[in-house]
Amino acid sequence: MVRRARIDEAAARRIFGILTWFSRTREAYDRERDFMIGQGIPASFLPDPEPGRFVSSASSSRACP
């Protein structure tokens, strides 16, 4: 599948979507992106995160009631 993702943007986006599904921080998202690029998948095939995807660390560190 990775071999195909190197030449097929749709395949690259599907794999990337799976890898980043549970990414809660920009850092985690970027780690997966860097991993894919390291596997030879063109950066241009990988999307930037959609606006508002990540919550700020201040709001995510609140204690649960």
Quick one: pLDDT band at residue 43, thresholds 50, 70, 90? very high
Confidence (pLDDT) at 37? 98
Chain centroid, CA 53 distance in Å: 11
Domain boundaries, the chain: 1-42
Tell me the DSSP string of the chain.
Answer: -HHHHTT-HHHHHHHHHHHHTT--SHHHHHHHHHHHHHTT--GGGSPPPPTT-SPPHHHHTPPP-
> What's the average model confidence in pLDDT over 40-63?
80
Give pLDDT tens digits for 17-39.
999 999 999 999 999 999 999 99
